[in-house]
């Protein structure tokens, strides 16, 4: 329906070149309705399949009214899922676990549009948004360029300086540990895992990506293009190139695998290691994971060759890659997301759970997901390896730490050192603050809609004040002074300053916005489709079993000589002893010589 905004409303903000404000700058269309400008002063809200009708898509249809009345709030079901362990122990042992897991997957995944809708060049649906994989996609279109303020119509005509925002609200004063017990093993896994699909292309400009796979393709292990992949391959028995140091397998030197890696000039070529992601030389924790996955790939190749002696190098390589993709998704859902959620419901990776429902096996990485996943508050103020404390200057680009200590020692050290709390604000180490500043500046160049608009898009009630957002009077007063209106609060700072849920690593919005992206990306992988999800895809029953039984502990312990304490949380009393007992009685799968 065409609507002309009242003259009084239009005069509330500075007029554009035509003398009127673009009505879509007011974000009038609710409940995922699409605003289309009509003429010079009017607009239409397209309410198709939103479950709402009316000029601004505000009136619920009958079934939507019932659904809204019965639907619990995110805070309510978070409370239920994180309490009453005795109840969830019963659920986890029955068919209800599968039923609930199917519900979680479908409800979360359906919040992500597929096929994609917008990109940074087009604030409307276009063929380019669908077909051009060089773009990150967008969940919400950009704020129109002709709006009175960067936030549409609310807030200041010029947003506060990005550095000022970061220093006042994101910079760490004192280290705030994650109450869920997340450790550096978790922090480095998050970074290693996401850098296969978060690869902003600086040469092409903001909003573009070099990770054309848009998902879990393990480009961080194999490279994001065929040329890089071929340089990393041994072309023998399906394996990747490696070097032996003290009889153990590590990534090859750049001299033997000449791929582009980012190292400072002070690092000599003989100390530069070559892996799939060019930035992984930055941190020993990233290179540690690169080493584990290298060993796992070559170990899997040995198992496959034993099962299929007639297979050539290419089939061994390609099948091993599929197995590692499956292992990664299994570990992410059942170890990584399980820990992150804090839920007592035992999460399950089983693609067959959604074979009977409508689901699209494709994925596109969005700008918002890329922004959201900058979890730099996880990083501590220093790093402790075997009682030795390392500053950032000593840790960054330390290319010999991995071989000096060995994989086992780093795994154990990172598993025992606590990571920081992500939400609540003021917990980013000063050495990493420039990254947060860059994220804020990028969001402004991409004209991301305000934080509250994303809360509405993901079915949350928008905040009405900065006090409600932060739960902190001093921080709320400063934010009010800088932004002027809660509806002008920016997306990324809003996620980080939001008050955390009880005993949680971050706030409600990070969970409700991040989980749909994550689960859609994981289950939307081709290997999870009915055509792929069968033993033959993974080389038969043995390969399929490797995928279905993968854990973080197995990834480490099948690829080292001594199995250390390994988990995504710091150990409780008795954890290390229990781990040692289980390892001593564990039967190993066939493994490669390290």
Active-site entry in 31, 78, 192, 195: 195
Beta sheet of 42-46, edge-to-edge order = 2-4, 42-46, 34-38
Which residue in the block uniquely carries the two structure tokens 């996955």? Answer: 293
Number of Cβ within a 10 Å radius of residue 283: 23
> Residue 360 in 3-state DSSP?
coil
Closest CA to 178 of 515, 424, 434, 494: 424
Q: Token digits for 474?
A: 């001093």
Distance (Å, whole) CA 391 – CA 1: 61
Q: Is 260 a catalytic residue?
A: no
The 3-state DSSP composition of the chain as helix, strand, coil percent (nearest 5) reads 45, 10, 45
Q: Is 195 a catalytic residue?
A: yes
Which residue in the block uniquely carries the two structure tokens 């150990």? Answer: 571
Backbone torsion region of residue 35, taken as left when φ is above 0, otherwise alpha when ψ lies between -120 and 50, otherwise beta: beta
- Whether 353 and 341 have beta carbons less than 8 Å apart is answered as no
Cross-strand partners of 65: none
Rounded to 5 degrees, what are φ and ψ at 245? -125, 120
Q: Which residues of 68-107 are buried (b: 16+ CB within 10 A; e: fewer)?
A: eeeeeebeeebeebbeeeeebeebbeeeebeebbbebbbe
Closest CA to 559 of 548, 568, 545, 546: 546
Helix (H) or strand (E) holding 44: strand 42-46
| DSSP annotation of 45 | E
**525 Cβ contact partners less than 8 Å away, ≥ 6 residues apart:** 215, 216, 325, 329, 361, 363
- Its sign, for the CA torsion 10, 51, 523, 462, is positive
Active-site entry in 135, 373, 405, 565: 373
Distance (Å, whole) CA 193 – CA 274: 17
Rounded to 5 degrees, what are φ and ψ at 151? -100, 10
- Whether 571 and 565 have beta carbons less than 8 Å apart is answered as yes
Closest CA to 37 of 68, 3, 9, 66: 3
The residues annotated as belonging to the active site are: 195, 373
């Amino acid at each position: 329906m065409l609507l002309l905004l009242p003259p009084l409303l239009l005069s509330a903000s500075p007029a554009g070149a035509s003398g009127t404000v673009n009505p879509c700058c007011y974000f009038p269309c609710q409940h995922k309705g699409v605003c289309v400008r009509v003429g010079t002063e009017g607009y239409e809200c397209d309410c198709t399949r939103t479950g709402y009708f009316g000029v601004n898509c505000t009136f619920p249809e009958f079934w939507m009214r019932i659904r809204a009345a019965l639907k619990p709030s995110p805070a309510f079901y978070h409370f239920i899922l994180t309490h009453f362990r005795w109840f969830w122990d019963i659920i986890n042992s029955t068919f209800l676990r599968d039923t609930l897991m199917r519900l979680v997957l479908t409800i979360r995944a359906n919040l992500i549009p597929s096929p994609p809708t917008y990109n940074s060049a087009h604030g409307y649906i276009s063929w380019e948004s669908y077909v051009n994989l060089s773009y990150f996609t967008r969940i919400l279109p950009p704020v129109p360029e002709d709006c009175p303020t960067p936030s549409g119509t609310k807030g200041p005509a010029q947003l506060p300086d990005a550095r000022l925002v970061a220093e006042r609200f994101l910079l760490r004063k004192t280290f705030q540990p994650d109450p869920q017990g997340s450790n550096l093993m978790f922090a480095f896994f998050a970074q290693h895992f996401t850098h296969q699909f978060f690869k902003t292309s600086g040469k092409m400009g903001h909003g573009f990506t070099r990770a054309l796979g848009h998902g879990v393709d393990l480009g961080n292990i194999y490279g994001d293009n065929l040329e890089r992949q071929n340089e990393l391959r041994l072309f023998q028995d399906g394996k990747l190139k490696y070097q032996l140091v003290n009889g153990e397998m590590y990534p090859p030197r750049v001299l033997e695998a000449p791929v582009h890696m980012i190292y400072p000039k002070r690092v000599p070529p003989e100390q530069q290691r070559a892996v799939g992601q060019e930035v992984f030389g930055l941190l020993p924790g990233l290179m540690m994971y690169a080493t584990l996955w290298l060993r796992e790939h070559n170990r899997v190749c040995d198992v496959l060759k034993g099962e299929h002696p007639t297979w050539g190098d290419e089939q061994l390589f390609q099948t091993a890659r599929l197995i590692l993709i499956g292992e990664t998704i299994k570990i992410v859902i059942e170890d990584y997301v399980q820990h992150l959620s804090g839920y007592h419901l035992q999460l399950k990776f089983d693609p067959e759970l959604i074979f009977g429902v409508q689901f699209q096996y494709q994925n596109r990485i969005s700008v918002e997901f890329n922004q959201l996943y900058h979890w730099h508050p996880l990083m501590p103020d220093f790093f402790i390896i075997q009682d030795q404390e390392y500053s950032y200057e000593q840790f960054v680009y330390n290319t010999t730490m991995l071989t000096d200590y060995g994989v086992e020692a780093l795994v154990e050290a990172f598993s025992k050192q606590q990571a920081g709390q992500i939400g609540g604000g003021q917990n980013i180490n000063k050495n990493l603050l420039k990254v947060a500043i860059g994220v804020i500046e990028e969001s402004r160049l991409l004209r991301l809609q305000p934080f509250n608009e994303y809360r509405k898009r993901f079915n949350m009630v928008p905040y009405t004040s900065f006090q409600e957002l932060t739960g902190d009077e001093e921080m709320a007063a400063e934010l009010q002074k800088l932004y002027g209106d809660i509806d002008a609060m920016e997306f990324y700072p809003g996620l980080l300053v939001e008050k955390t849920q009880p005993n949680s690593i971050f706030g409600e919005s990070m969970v409700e916005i991040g989980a749909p992206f994550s689960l859609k990306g994981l289950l939307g992988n081709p290997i999870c489709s009915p055509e792929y999800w069968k033993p033959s895809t993974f080389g038969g029953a043995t390969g399929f079993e490797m995928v279905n039984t993968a854990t973080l502990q197995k990834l480490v312990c099948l690829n080292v000589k001594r199995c250390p304490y390994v988990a995504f949380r710091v150990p409780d009393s008795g954890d290390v002893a229990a781990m040692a007992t289980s390892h001593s009685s564990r039967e190993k799968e066939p493994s490669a010589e390290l």
